[in-house]
Amino acid sequence: MTRQDLFEQIQARRSMLCVGLDTDLAKLPAGVDALDFNKAIIDATAPYCVAYKPNLAFYECSGLPGMRLLDATVDYIKSRYPEKFLIADAKRGDIGNTARMYAKAYFETMDFDAVTLSPYMGTDAVLPFLEYPGKFAVVVALSSNGSAADFEYEGASKPLYQTVMEKMMDISTPENMMFVVGATKADKLDSIRAFCPEHFFLVPGVGAQGGSAEEVMEHGANSMGGLLINSSRGILYASSGADFAEAAARVASETARL
Amino acid sequence: MTRQDLFEQIQARRSMLCVGLDTDLAKLPAGVDALDFNKAIIDATAPYCVAYKPNLAFYECSGLPGMRLLDATVDYIKSRYPEKFLIADAKRGDIGNTARMYAKAYFETMDFDAVTLSPYMGTDAVLPFLEYPGKFAVVVALSSNGSAADFEYEGASKPLYQTVMEKMMDISTPENMMFVVGATKADKLDSIRAFCPEHFFLVPGVGAQGGSAEEVMEHGANSMGGLLINSSRGILYASSGADFAEAAARVASETARL
């Protein structure tokens, strides 16, 4: 799926929403099977989003049954909603020999459009993912969690997240790379867009983590859309009752709308 | 498995070797099934090593059959060789909510003794792994790949890898944390041991990647052993013929011996 395809979906849906499928078995409504839950969430939110992002930890934690749930969820999205941009939230990052195997896992064995990657070990960890036309490496630059400041601002002349983005921009194009930018404040987004105007940003931290989608869209969008705004818990667990799907649709319809 | 248990194994085996199970289906000897290959490698190398480290990418790339191979390999080691220290080479790293799920995956659903983690997103990504007695978070500090210098040396007053280690030492003890230190040069090891004397280091980069196990042991060991020296390809693919297990045993017997 190309950047142009994704931009057209954003225009068609009037939405920059990515629904994070962090499906926690301990939070499912009573009596609801995990796959049925995912299918109901997907059907309910599809009119209001352009992307889905299963978080692999929530599937790996259940072992083989979890991996079967992930496979079935991916198959369901790909068969029913082939226009959706599908992101494996994996935060992988390893030497080139190993990165090639992860790229194979998510781009060949499974048919994701994108995978999130950790940049710590440098460009080796990312390069194999750039060799797949129409697929994207989504490199974590600035995260939205409490300890983001532990290391992501390190640096002599500029913060590490900027050094990461500049180095990664050198080896990629906006057609095969995006960045995780957990900035929900206007001034930070403005300063990041100043040195990275073209790439899509996957923005976590709205909804349960407290950021404002409106401020992100005002300061982070570009002429090709440029934003995927993720919400996970705020949508999945909007209601813990039998009306969970309707509640998810309602929150999705109100999040990251153009 | 405690640090004392691991030290006793090192003394009993007169070895600091960790065998990396980066099982590449494209490199198996003709006619050999992947699980049979892993079992033969394990049986052949068990007399000469103290740890095994499956690299999860090499299993994930095959989808569900790969995850079944990983499960079966872990079960084989745990049932036949319960004294071996078992590391999931996963390089995971995500926000706390997600890190808890990864900890559950590797320490509860699967019975690994340790898991490698990427520190980019800060202490949030590591803390949930420290809550399991007798289990270890193995945090990547300095990697052995060509692009390690892209970011791991960033920093105003000290290199990022040192900042990472010092911050991680603040939240942990040598009983629940180790570091990946891809330093195979004497001067670098000496300088790292100066500020981190107690923790175990998992050292990649010997064998196929060219580092010297002898130099690592001379400069990196401490009074509790303090080193796990990994070799993967150099052992697994020591021979591509029917004698692959004997060849693996021979290389293992010559690597990281006390």
Q: What is the pLDDT of residue A169?
A: 98
Q: With 80 as the cut, is the pLDDT of residue A174 above it? A: yes
Give pLDDT, residue B209.
67
Euclidean distance between CA atoms A249 and A44, whole angstroms: 5
Closest chain A C-alpha to B151 CA, distance in angstroms? 6
Residue from B81, B82, B79, B99 nearest B90 by CA: B99
Q: What pLDDT band is residue A208 in, cutting at 50, 70 and 90?
A: low
Contacts of B102 in chain A (CB under 8 A): 57, 60-61
Cβ–Cβ gap B118/A145 under 8 Å: no
Select the residue of A93, A154, A163 nearest B163 (Cβ to Cβ). Answer: A154
Contacts of A27 in chain B (CB under 8 A): none
Q: Please name the residues in contact with A119: beta carbons below 8 A apart, sequence gap of 6 or more.
A: A93, A125, A126, A139, A140, A141, A164, A168, B120, B150, B151
Q: B155 to chain A nearest CA, in Å?
A: 4
Name every chain A residue with its beta carbon within 8 A of the beta carbon of B108: 61
Contacts of A95 in chain B (CB under 8 A): 143-145
Cβ contact, residue pair A150, B93, below 8 Å: no
Residue among A91, A167, A185, A188 flagged as catalytic: A91
CB atoms within 10 A of CB B198: 14
> Residues of A with CB below 8 A from B105's CB?
57, 60-63
Q: Report DSSP state, residue B14.
A: T
Has residue A210 got a pLDDT over 80?
no
Residue in B121, B165, B168 to test binding to A, most A beta-carbons within 10 Å: B121
Domain boundaries along the sequence of chain A? 3-253
Over residues B154-160, the mean pLDDT reads 91
Nearest to B145 among A95, A147, A155 (CB): A95
Distance from CA of B166 to the nearest CA of A (A): 11
Model ipTM? 0.96
Q: Write down the pLDDT at residue B206.
A: 84
Residue B234: pLDDT over 70: yes
Average pLDDT over residues B151-171: 95
- Among this protein's residues, is A91 annotated catalytic? yes
Per the model's pLDDT, the better-predicted residue between A213 and A108 turns out to be A108
pLDDT in tens, A141-158: 999 999 999 999 998 889
pLDDT above 90 for B34: yes
Q: Class of the A3-253 domain?
A: alpha beta
- Active-site residue, from B27, B39, B78, B91: B91
